[in-house]
Structure 1
Amino acid sequence: MIVDLRTYTVKPGKMPAFLKLYQEHGWPLQQKYLGTCLGWYTVAEGTLNTVVHMWRFDSQADREVRRSAMVQDPAWQAFMLLSEEAAHLIEMKNIFLAPTSFSPQQ
């Protein structure tokens, strides 16, 4: 198992618009293709204007197959265009996490 931990930095004042756009267009597609979302959060204290979400995959290969299928969907491509036009994001990062032998499994 791996966890894809994604962190997005949103332009100040744009969080509500970013979340609305994602919830209406991106979220349904990611649920369809990516499978298990472990959490989708906004930062309440610390580095503000930050979104963090985590997705569970069986392996890196599983992630690649799922993301490849999603990227080929015309609805995802339309969402990416809307997202690019909205220009809500400053930065995107992702980290792949591997569980320890004693980590609770999802």
Structure 2
Amino acid sequence: MLRCRFSLLFTSLALIGLASATTNLSVSAQEKAVPRVYELRTYTTHPGRLPALNKRFQEHTLKLFEKHGMKNEMYWIPTDTAKSENTLIYVISHESEAAAKKSWDAFRVDPDWIKARDASEADGKIVLKVDAVFMTKAPYSP
């Protein structure tokens, strides 16, 4: 009788584990079916203004991106000496290009963003130029 109960318990646990694994597989398949759109952005600052841009990103921008549905992926400073003084490169991701447009539109009018931007530019404009490219992963990308 005790053996039968243990067998029933282990069979139930195995079925629960199998159901959980199947659910996880379908989520992974769904994620692969709808790939994220990545946005590569390169900011060139006015001379001497990169520290102000980095401070603004660290203290405000990253949180505001997340608030508006943008996922922070990675941020870089070039190793090239000249570019390292005025360039920030980063990647954020979105559910789609339409979602990106909606997120950027909401971000640009967010009172918290406007306040942070204006405060950080009290000493002068920071960003001289922005380049942006939308991308999807290549099929062979790890």
Structure 1 residue aligned with 2:69, among 34, 37, 53? 34
Contact 1:7 1:94 survives alignment (8 Å):
yes
Using the TM superposition, give the Cα deviation of residue 97 of structure 1 relative to its aligned residue in structure 2, in angstroms: 1.1
Report the structure, 1 or 2, having the larger helix content: 2
Change (3 A) 1:47 1:96: farther
> Radius of gyration: which is bigger?
2
Matches within 5 A, 1:9-48: 9-45=44-80, 48=83
Structure 1 counterpart SS, 2:47: coil
TM-score under structure 1 normalisation?
0.80
State the identity %: 27
Instruction: Tell me which protein shows more strand as a share of its residues.
Output: 1
The aligned residue for residue 15 of structure 2 is none
Q: Deviations over 1:30-86 (max 9, x none)?
A: 122233211011112265121001011121112122222322321112233335543
Aligned pair count?
104
- What is the CA RMSD across the aligned residues, in angstroms? 2.1
Contact kept? 1:34, 1:67, Cα under 8 Å: no
Q: Which amino acid aligns with 1:94?
A: A
- Aligned residues of 2:65 and 2:71 also touching (Cα < 8 A): no
Which blocks of at least 5 consecutive residues in structure 2 are unaligned?
1-35
Under a length normalisation based on structure 2, what TM-score does the superposition of the two structures give? 0.62
Is 1:58 matched with 2:95? yes
Cα gap change, 1:8/1:87 in structure 2, threshold over 3 Å: closer, same or farther? same
Query: Would you identify which runs of 4 or more consecutive aligned residues in structure 1 move more than 6 Å?
Result: none
Structure of greater relative contact order (alpha carbons < 8 Å, 6+ residues apart): 1
